[in-house]
Structure 1
Amino acid sequence: MTEVNFPGARRSGMYVETEERPEPDPVTREALEGPADPFVEPVDAEDVRAAREEKKGTNVGAPVKVPAREADAEADDEEEPAVPAKEGFRGFLNRASGGLLKLAPSQTETAARLLVVDQGRFEALIRQSSWTRAVGLLVANKKGTAGKTPLSILLGGVLAAIRGGSVAILETSDDKGQLAYRAEGDPQLGMGELVANISNVRTQSQLRGYTVTQTSFASVIGSTPQWRPPLTRQNVLDVASIVDEHFTIRVMDTGNQYSSGPFGAAVDVADVLVIPTMLAQDAVSEALELLEFLEHQGPEAARLARTAIVVMMSDGRPEFKPSKLKKQFMDKGIAEDHIYAVPYDAHVAERGALTLNKLAPATRQALTAIAAGVVAQTNQNVFAKDQNR
């Protein structure tokens, strides 16, 4: 079976390597060596413990993105005995003995327990983070079909589901994009109508008339099936301004032209850059070009490039070795723990409307880890950006 690694979510301990695994790093492992598989098995629990032991005294260099299990490592020598097994054959024997037997959990059950703990920490970080203003997430890659629109919907959906809403996902491409098509619902009004009537939009109720609420509780502002005029820089700034009055998080699904006014405006109102890419050289090359472009657009844009979150996605087509693509991002200055992977998911690959509840559990878990990383970076960037002001 081909397996998937999540470098940015290495603390979860749920993922295993491919059969042809490289020499492991003390903290994280290399990415998968072949096409992603929709099924992901848990890591051997002994490997999890070993990684935690080795990480004592290790300087990972990058900021910690989530409440880390490394703190627990200080008490590893005094760990309490594990709760007796509740699952599998060992759990059956413990129950059958009426409590006389207290067999330890299997490696699989131990890994599953660690995963639950980490997912809880990810969700707590996402839910409890707060800011004194609205924050903007820029989802960008010049390459078409790199996964910008699906990731915008799924990332925004996970954030909204955990935080209880107040997340708006916007189409900021010059021409009409596919955001409304990939989202749930059939919008009667959208970005074109909002831009035309924005001077009359003052309340949240009025703004919501141009959105479609998802089952995740995210609000999508895409385009209706009718043609709309191309957006301008000022259009994007105006829409971002009114959205920020009524939503806490703004996720911007961008177009493919970096030199355009709408893209420049989206960059100006963004706090964190998220770069989706398929496991293909053309998509990675375009992503690297984006980083280089932003480095020359001023200090705030350069900050977006330096702190970018990279998400490697899979659509089932032939793929390059992820470890080689990952290295290209690291050579460009992207921290290793800012590079994530999402396993192949049939629901995403269908290229229809996306619903969180239809995702495979491994996909949902991966997106939760990514969302936690994005929120943690948002916390840092917002503080730094506002301090400079």
Structure 2
Amino acid sequence: MPSGNHVPPPETSTPTGAPSWLTGDAAAWAAPGAPPTPAPPPTAATAPEVPAEQPVPNGFPEQLVAGAGPGSQPVRPAPEPAETAAAFWNTDTAAELGGQDVPVAGFSDGGAFADVVRPKLAAPTHGWRAAVYAMTAGRWNPGLSEAELRLKEQVRRITTPLSGPFSVAVGSIKGGVGKTTCTCALGLAMAEYRGDRVIAIDANPDAGTLGDRLVGEAQAGKRTVRDLLRDLDQVRTSTQLSGYTHLAGRLRVLTSEQTPELSEMFSERDYERVLRLLSIYHELLLTDCGTGLVHSAMQGTLRHADSLVVVGAPTKDGASRAARTLQWLATHQDDQGRFPYRDLVRDAVVVLSCDRQSRYVDDTVIRDYFASRVRAVVELPADPHLATGDIIDLDALAPATRDAVLELAAVVADGFQSRTHGLASHGFRTDHADRQAGMR
């Protein structure tokens, strides 16, 4: 009998036979002998109780019994059988189901997390943005400047991949317009940013100055293309080949013979033999051509070129000679009556070297003329460092000149994927296995 003055409520029967104060889940957790909790007084808004005979569907805890009113008690779902859950995750169970992957609704293969990491701005390296970034220890990053974004895009283009050796010929029928300077700057830029091997070749039969502008006159004459031709059949590895070339930064350089009598002997066949060997160990080959379009070595250079750079100037004579160069190439016929260089001209790049410039010349007319006939036109500004005629250093160039050099390299690299002839079409060793065999 209960002690004290506590009087239990009267026993009233329910549809289940349980007291009215033990309804819903209360009977499941009430401890034996514990005093019962009085039920709240009924109100008009209280919904009728659900008969125990009505089946209770499984569902989330917030789900109400089907057919119950808004005041019904939530029903906790029955636990999912362990063997059912295992079928989603256990590979043994999946194998029993026919060896097929069992799809799990609501789950993906990880693609949903592709954007989970917030983008991080690149750290600026120049100007006030770099100063602010350093002063705040990186807590405030104003982002890259327009110049830095331009450099980033230029580097992306310069690093366009190559599927095999690629030959670029740099030439003009007029001397003194900066053809060798352009070759040097282009080669240095390509070698600085690309991960593959780049080499510049001096094919000028008139004692060219490519070596002078890259490694210095004294060093350039120690090993020349004539030495390589003499020992060509003995070169079997890249290490042996490096003994005949020079290094300017990351750019390899093959200089020409400085004795006029011997340099004149550099023929089309000699150039082709050298090019065939160099293409085994290098991906990008830049050739500084002479001024004679009908010279034997020049014919070999053009025949194996994948891309052409013609150098002129924003002056009347400099522009007309560059135009004459392109016109001769576009209209030249071979022995079969074909025009072998028309595609080369259509995809050519014209460089206007602004060392010679006059305010009396409308350079807009010159740019528009070439832009309508070739793939791209690049202006190379006058620069005090280039005007000295000494060894070229990209870091010593004025910002505008360096930007123009990188733009030239990017424009040339834009044509890497549009090869129409050149080394690959003439049976040069472009197969990966052959190249690896040659490098051993």
1:306 is aligned to 346
Code of the residue aligned with 1:375 in structure 2: it is A
Alignment partner for residue 315 of structure 1, among 347, 355, 367? 355
Report if the CA contact (8 A) 2:189-2:405 is conserved: yes
Report if the CA contact (8 A) 1:300-1:385 is conserved: no
Matches for 1:186-335 after TM superposition, within 5 Å: 186-187=219-220, 188-215=222-249, 217-223=250-256, 225-227=258-260, 228-230=262-264, 231-297=266-332, 298-315=338-355, 318=358, 320-331=361-372, 333-335=373-375
Cα deviation for residue 225 of structure 1 reads: 4.2
1:381 is aligned to 419
Larger Rg: 2
Secondary structure of the corresponding residue to residue 370 of structure 2: helix
Secondary structure of the corresponding residue to residue 145 of structure 2: helix
Mean Cα deviation higher: 258-267 or 156-165: 156-165
Cα deviation for residue 302 of structure 1 reads: 0.9
Distance 2:426 2:213 in 1: 38
1:129 aligns with 2:170: no
2:30 is aligned to none
Report if the CA contact (8 A) 2:165-2:423 is conserved: no
Distance 2:146 2:245 in 1: 38
1:344 aligns with 2:379: no
- Normalization by structure 1: what TM-score? 0.67
Aligned length: 295
Distance 1:171 1:145 in 2: 16
Report if the CA contact (8 A) 1:184-1:355 is conserved: no
Report if the CA contact (8 A) 2:171-2:309 is conserved: yes
Secondary structure of the corresponding residue to residue 315 of structure 1: coil
Secondary structure of the corresponding residue to residue 231 of structure 2: helix
Distance 1:142 1:113 in 2: 41
Cα deviation for residue 174 of structure 1 reads: 2.3
1:356 aligns with 2:394: yes
Distance 1:199 1:229 in 2: 20
Cα deviation for residue 118 of structure 1 reads: 2.5
Cα deviation for residue 384 of structure 1 reads: 10
Secondary structure of the corresponding residue to residue 189 of structure 1: coil
- Unmatched segments (≥5 aa) in structure 2: 1-118, 333-337, 428-440
Cα deviation for residue 317 of structure 1 reads: 5.2
Cα deviation for residue 209 of structure 1 reads: 1.5
Secondary structure of the corresponding residue to residue 201 of structure 2: strand
Cα deviation for residue 318 of structure 1 reads: 3.6
Cα deviation for residue 279 of structure 1 reads: 1.8
Cα deviation for residue 291 of structure 1 reads: 1.1
Q: Give percent identity, aligned residues only.
A: 22
Distance 1:384 1:354 in 2: 29
Distance 1:253 1:384 in 2: 16
Cα deviation for residue 226 of structure 1 reads: 4.2
Q: 1:385/1:245 Cα in 2 relative to 1: closer, same or farther (>3 Å)?
A: closer
Mean Cα deviation higher: 219-228 or 351-360: 219-228
Q: What are the Cα deviations for residues 226-277 of structure 1, in whole angstroms up to 9, with x where unaligned?
A: 4524211101111111110111100000001111111110001111111121
CA RMSD between the two structures: 3.4
